[in-house]
Structure 1
């Protein structure tokens, strides 16, 4: 092959390598979508779950950004109403955490399930992966309600093949010292416990995103 014929091939190969490297250099873009537990109720912004999780992941050498799209008081119906505009184009994955306020208000679990499933379907249609964070009904709602509500999350995760974290408040819900005075929301130390327990699942989620590129 003459040099003049080889040069276009070499240029094309070089550009392919450069563009591939540039694509890999882009950080993984996540959105933490949820209620006050995600938003960081009564906490400084740097202590909110998405910010603390992003810091922990970066500490493990993972290039990631996590936007905080938590809204205090949000229900699954509220989340469904805003999911399209709250999650921008270019997002790789969403940590979906909603349902606690549904349970506190006694909303029928069937409605909660329907709303969560609709959000998962909408995100996946946009090519956005979902990490579903589970919630559990408070005991005062009774065993029948609890059984119906608690089954929502593992069933949806299995049906829609999403990465699943069984209980977002794991390690905090029964520890008074890890919660604010209201006895419901995590304090800064509680968020630290949540992030530490959530971290392996977040790493798995990001790994699935990278493998799918």
Structure 2
């Protein structure tokens, strides 16, 4: 049975005390796993601290695997959704793009993940990504459409981009440079902090949804 958390009220001051703790699995790749960072600097520890500072009684399980694709996520979602998991963050697809995976294949994998979550009674925050035009406009358009369309179809929460907190107003990659590690791909500790500040409100919404689920 998944826990039922009641009495979670989002206000200007954060969440009121909840009856039970909410456990969230963060299913992702190296961005979730915290590649290149000390453990406490990674996405999961920083997000958990951010949420707790706002009154959320929450545990986040780091289910990030460096180099993972949507296929890998679909293959391991069943054993990620253990009985104590109340909600799930899904942040996968970047490695699919790096490998030029057919967007239809990626869509099918993400749909498998969302169907597994629905069957388990687990609420989801689906995090999308912005694809460059390296593979042409058709590939970009098809891949970009995956996340909002599946979120709408499955009734999940949706965040447009993992990197939105460090992209700046123009989306110019040069603006992101200060918040990335030397590889130009993974966020540094300050980058993770900004990413968490941007995604945090959506995760608070996810906790509220998990608290209202039956």
| TM-score (normalised: structure 2) | 0.86
- Describe the SS at the equivalent of 2:66: coil
State whether residues 75 and 99 of structure 1, in contact with CA within 8 Å, keep that contact through their aligned partners in structure 2: yes
Alignment partner, residue 202 of structure 2? 201
Pairwise CA distance, 1:86 = 2.5
Count residues with an aligned counterpart.
192
Answer 1 or 2: which has greater helix percent: 1
Q: List alignment gaps of at least 5 residues for structure 2.
A: 1-5, 8-17, 168-172
* 4+ aligned runs moved over 4 Å, structure 1: none
Shift of 1:138: 2.5
**Are 2:147 and 1:146 aligned?**
no
Higher relative contact order, chain-length normalized (CA < 8 Å, sep 6+):
2
| 1:91 maps onto 2:92 in alignment | no
Q: CA RMSD in A?
A: 1.5
C-alpha deviation, 1:131, in angstroms: 0.8
Instruction: Provide the residue aligned with 1:78 in structure 2.
Output: 72
Q: Deviations over 1:41-89 (max 9, x none)?
A: 1111111111111100100011000010100000001111111112321
Matched residues in 2 for 1:89 and 1:49: separation? Answer: 23
What TM-score, normalized to structure 1?
0.86
Aligned residue for 2:124, secondary structure, equals: strand
Q: Which runs of 5+ in 1 are unaligned?
A: 1-19
Partner of 1:166: 160
